[in-house]
Amino acid sequence: MSEQRVALVTGSSSGIGAAVARRLAANGIRVVVNSARSRAAGEALAAELPGALYLQGDVADPADAQRLVAQAVEHYGRLDILVNNAGTTRFIPLDDLAAADAQAWREIFDVNVIGTWQLTTAAVPHLRASGAGCVVNISSVSAIRAMGSSVPYAVSKAAVNHMTRLLASQLGPEIRVNAVAPGLVDTPWYAEADEVWESSRDWITAHTPLRRVGTPEDVADATLHLVDAGYTTGDVLTVDGGRHLV
């Protein structure tokens, strides 16, 4: 078994996940790149990173969740780090209750909450065997403040935050569990929602102490910090340029 640490980063073919994968790889960690659909982008990123592996799979599917972990361990002989980044949303105004129908709730919770749970529970035996395993969940500042792309999305991320604390309380001392809660980040999600993105960018820039929106690299920096923060567990690290202060 190699002594080099191995990380599985879900939803990592683009955006925040890709930035996290690059940051971990730059720090000597072998990375498993994953996506549910964007196979070509995922394979291209894995080819760019030293010793990386691409695995396609949908975290919301129980069989896929188990298979992703099993194939990562089969390939590398170990798993030390799980970054639960895969997520989905719908852009629904918070006051449009009718549009946030049951189907929207199910789709968002299946990926953001159940997918996070399934990957984590599948990974636990291997993270425990690592001796210093860690999980980093990518949450959102919308879990903390009454804001976000939709009510189901914000509530799903609040569930992720509480899951993070509950798991941290149960999985120590062998496994640490933390989360990163980004504010508005410039990702492909917003490139597909131009009007939403432009109005949000202008408002956040004007009302945030650091006077800018976030980048995927900002979140990757915070994720790496939690990966290496050996005496930190059960924490939700807010990365929003200070927006939560005002």
Q: Could you report the per-residue pLDDT of 177-222, keeping only the tens digit for each?
A: 999 999 888 876 655 555 655 666 787 788 889 988 899 999 999 9
Instruction: Domain count for the chain, please give it.
Output: 1
Q: Is residue 59 part of a domain?
A: yes
Q: Is residue 60 part of a domain?
A: yes
Rounded CA-CA distance 54/50 in Å is 12
| Single-letter code of the amino acid located at 243 | R
Q: Is residue 202 part of a domain?
A: no
Q: Is residue 103 part of a domain?
A: yes
Least confident range of 59-68, 135-144, 226-235:
135-144
If you average pLDDT over residues 78-103, what whole number do you get? 91
Q: Is residue 209 part of a domain?
A: no
Q: Is residue 118 part of a domain?
A: yes
Q: Is residue 242 part of a domain?
A: no
What was the pLDDT predicted at 91?
A: 80
Q: Is residue 74 part of a domain?
A: yes
Supply the range of the domain harboring residue 34: 6-187+215-237
CATH number at residue 153: 3.40.50.720
User: What amino acid positions are annotated as catalytic residues?
Assistant: 153
Instruction: Using the structure block, give the residue that is written with the tokens 């509480």.
Output: 162
Q: At what angle do helices 15-26 and 39-48 cross, to 10 degrees?
A: 20
Rounded CA-CA distance 134/54 in Å is 20
